[in-house]
Amino acid sequence: MAPVAKKVPVERTHHGDTVIDEYAWLLKKDDPDTIAYLEAENAYTQEMTAHLKDLQDTVFQEIKSRTLETDLSVPVRRNAWWYYSRTEQGKQYGIQCRVAADGDSPPVLRPGEPLPGEQVLLDGNELAGDSPFFSIGTSTASPDGTKLAYSTDYKGDERFTLRFKNLETGELLPDEIPGVFYGGAWSADGSTFFYTTIDDAWRPYRVHRHTLGSDEDDVIVYQEDDERFWVGIGLTRSLRYLTLSAGSKITSEVRILDADDPTGEFTVVRPRRTGVEYGLDHAGDHFLVLHNDGAVNFELATAPVADPASWTPLIGHREDTRLLDVDAFKDHVAVHFRRDGLTGIRILPGDGREPYEIPFPEPLYDVTPSGNAEFETSRLRLGYTSLVTPPSVYEYDLRTGELILLKRKPVLGGYDPADYEQFREWATAEDGTKVPISIVVKKGADRTGTDRTGADRPAPTVLYGYGSYESSMDPYFSVARLSLLDRGFVFAIAHVRGGGEMGRRWYEDGKLTKKKNTFTDFVACARHLKAVGWSSRIVARGGSAGGLLMGAVANLAPELFAGVVAEVPFVDALNTILDPSLPLTVIEWDEWGDPLHDPEVYAYMKSYSPYENVGGRPYPPILAITSLNDTRVFYHEPAKWIARLRGTAGGGPFLLKTEMGAGHGGRSGRYDAWHEEAFALSWILDRA
């Protein structure tokens, strides 16, 4: 029998509107009743999915059998060393290594055959020990290669402990700093490390300077008091400048410091101005600045080192092209951009030749500059993937224009990309906007499949969506997804507004008081897939802010879906954004609006927040997956949502699965993650 959540009504009034939240007690993480309820939900979910155990085991074995368990990455050159990571069969975590550089070409590494002279920097398996959760927050060698800064998390709450290792002796240094955030940056000489810490709202707000071996307290070099802003610290590729960035969802401000002068004062490039975002990289005698001042899709400018606030346009604004990032090198510049829903790379040669774009042959793909640590190089490293092409590493020779494949992730079991096809469809939203859908199927599949009785019917479909923060769900390859495709499924990504797939305006049309476009776009995509014959049974899937999307579309059009998978779902959005004491709330006001102080925003959010809009009509079966230690979307959101669905709605069943020792990303070990994915996929297969 399904657990019945006790009702402890809590009355709240905002802007004259009084609401009753009968499940608010679930916010009390340390209450034994809360833990007992979550464990009862886990037991019920296990009972309700017991019939899927064999299928789950089969899917897990399929994922495992297609994965080269002993494998390694393409080495990345940083000064005198080639850095890479490798995995070993039977081990949950990666192993970070390096070998001394000999020549410009990366060494040829073969799985299971460590190179002579290999130095293990970090073995995640040794560090994890018997801990049920383990994560590395940062791992970065000093510019001279003599030291390593790394941080670890054993709970999943993304609060790390920072440590340092002498790479010449292998000795672990006594310096140990708890409670740090992701990232960090070295000074040029490796004597000093800069790191960030978080406040009670889980906001990185301070940058500290730590001098290795010093008994003095670390110096706070910057503190951000505006609760809307995060801070971060980095080092330019040239290793010449430290960059200290403060940014909200819509505004940014950058400070710089000569990396040779770690005790000096950071200076502001341009003071923050609401709505203006910018970032920079160092390129010899000038900086490259990517900004949106008067350019909604961003433009690229240059600025003299002596006067970084003086910006001269280099690549002007285009309505059809969103500039994403810029990588500066000694003799060229690489610009990462987005156009027509696809990413691309534009090269600006330093020898006077005309700029050009690197061509790629597939109709759908995603390409990103990646692993380019060296400033002086004639080669550009690229990461590439598509719905049918496994993650690949290319080197682009800037002298010859040759695109050289260095490695493609092996997929065992006879996988052939030619056996699969990818397409793009366009749905029409309620307001007439064309919404792209990326689709992958087994090759030769008709829009009409055959069910187990021999009758013709459209194939089952998983429709995935996100649609927030300008984050794009670009076409990507998944080994686990093959277990669906080889069983006749269609996999589709709805590139709904709120994401960044079609440029900055696409994002702006799916946030604040236009947020409902995200949800109606997804519904339009589902209806389109049915109308054109791709599917009759659709399982919707999304996580985090995509979990909000899942809750919203389940309220809007429950009849469209055979099931809904919502992972770490942001389904109690209104109550969370109303509470500035919760982590990230104030930061999020630029994304969702401020319902605490603005009655119009309150009314708008209340009209779509999934928890507030659960009705008594029939809903499809829903599987919500969460983690007890999640600091981004608290476990109580899906717990409250499932309780209200079960107490109010028809249909179902409504299942909640809580990882009791993990964070926002779920379980940390790769085999554990495969088991979790196999669980979700077996549930999807059963629904469709």
H-assigned helices in 350-446: none
pLDDT above 60 (res 454):
no
Instruction: State mean pLDDT over 595-600.
Output: 97
Evaluate the CA torsion angle 117, 122, 124, 130 in order and state its sign: positive
Q: Lowest mean pLDDT: which of 130-139, 298-307, 658-667? A: 658-667
pLDDT above 70 (res 456):
no
- Identify the residue with better confidence: 536 or 365: 365
Tell whether 63 is covered by a domain: yes
C-alpha–C-alpha distance, residues 525 and 436, integer Å: 8
Boundary-marking domain end, from 510, 536, 562: 536
Tell whether 621 is covered by a domain: yes
Instruction: Calculate the CA 17 to chain-centre distance.
Output: 36
pLDDT above 50 (res 418):
yes
Do 429 and 550 fall within a single domain? no
Tell whether 565 is covered by a domain: yes
CB 641 within 8 A of CB 610: yes
Structure tokens at 65: 């059998």
Boundary-marking domain end, from 520, 536, 552: 536
pLDDT at position 450:
43
Do 549 and 678 fall within a single domain? yes
pLDDT at position 452:
40
pLDDT above 80 (res 663):
no
pLDDT at position 364:
97
pLDDT above 60 (res 480):
yes
Q: Lowest mean pLDDT: which of 8-17, 36-45, 612-621, 659-668? A: 659-668
Q: What is the pLDDT of residues 215-241, one digit of tens each?
A: 899 999 999 999 999 999 999 989 999
C-alpha–C-alpha distance, residues 623 and 114, integer Å: 43
Residues noted as catalytic: 544, 630, 664
Do 553 and 520 fall within a single domain? no
pLDDT at position 330:
86
CATH number for position 476: 3.40.50.1820
Percentages helix, strand, coil for the chain (3-state, rounded to 5) are 20, 35, 45
Do 548 and 441 fall within a single domain? no
C-alpha–C-alpha distance, residues 401 and 410, integer Å: 26
CB 118 within 8 A of CB 99: yes
Do 528 and 548 fall within a single domain? no
DSSP 354: P
pLDDT above 50 (res 606):
yes
Do 546 and 676 fall within a single domain? yes
Q: What is the pLDDT of residues 622-638, one digit of tens each?
A: 999 999 987 889 999 99
| Domain interval for residue 431 | 420-536
CA angle 665, 670, 672 (to 5 degrees): 80
Tell whether 47 is covered by a domain: yes
Q: Which helix (H) or strand (E) holds 521?
A: helix 516-531
Q: Lowest mean pLDDT: which of 289-303, 337-351, 465-479, 651-665? A: 651-665
Strand pairing category for 185-186 and 172-180: unpaired
Instruction: Calculate the CA 9 to chain-centre distance.
Output: 36
Instruction: Report the number of distinct structural domains present in the chain.
Output: 2
pLDDT at position 630:
79
Q: What is the pLDDT of residues 167-181, one digit of tens each?
A: 999 999 999 999 999
Do 428 and 561 fall within a single domain? no
Structure tokens at 493: 């990504």
Tell whether 157 is covered by a domain: no
Boundary-marking domain end, from 509, 536, 563: 536
pLDDT at position 116:
81
String of DSSP letters for 182-235: S--EE-TTSSEEEEEEE-TTS-EEEEEEEETT--SPPEEEEE---TT-EEEEEE
Instruction: State mean pLDDT over 547-573.
Output: 98
Tell whether 284 is covered by a domain: no
Do 549 and 531 fall within a single domain? no
Tell whether 99 is covered by a domain: no
Residue 53 neighbours by CB under 8 Å, 6+ apart: none
pLDDT at position 105:
74
Amino acid occupying residue 243 = T
Residue 334 neighbours by CB under 8 Å, 6+ apart: 326, 327, 345, 346, 347, 348, 369, 372, 380
pLDDT at position 457:
58
**In the block, which residue shows the tokens 């089952």?**
460
C-alpha–C-alpha distance, residues 664 and 157, integer Å: 8
pLDDT at position 275:
96
Do 489 and 561 fall within a single domain? no
pLDDT at position 121:
97
Q: Lowest mean pLDDT: which of 105-109, 199-203, 224-228, 568-572? A: 105-109
Which range scores top for mean pLDDT: 2-16, 50-64, 97-111?
50-64
On average, the pLDDT of the chain sits at: 94
Share of the chain above pLDDT 70, in %: 98
Do 455 and 492 fall within a single domain? yes
Do 549 and 489 fall within a single domain? no
pLDDT above 80 (res 446):
no
Q: What is the pLDDT of residues 136-170, one digit of tens each?
A: 999 999 999 999 999 999 998 889 999 999 999 99
CB 340 within 8 A of CB 363: no
3-class DSSP state of 388: coil
pLDDT bracket for residue 453 (50, 70, 90): very low
Amino acid occupying residue 517 = N
Residue 522 neighbours by CB under 8 Å, 6+ apart: 463, 465, 467, 494, 496, 540, 549, 553
> Which residue, 252, 264, 268, 166, is CA-closest to 219?
264
pLDDT at position 366:
98
Cβ neighbour number for residue 36 with a 10 Å cutoff: 11
pLDDT above 50 (res 8):
yes
Tell whether 55 is covered by a domain: yes
C-alpha–C-alpha distance, residues 634 and 656, integer Å: 14
Residue 332 neighbours by CB under 8 Å, 6+ apart: 347, 348, 349, 350, 380, 398
Do 552 and 677 fall within a single domain? yes
C-alpha–C-alpha distance, residues 490 and 440, integer Å: 6
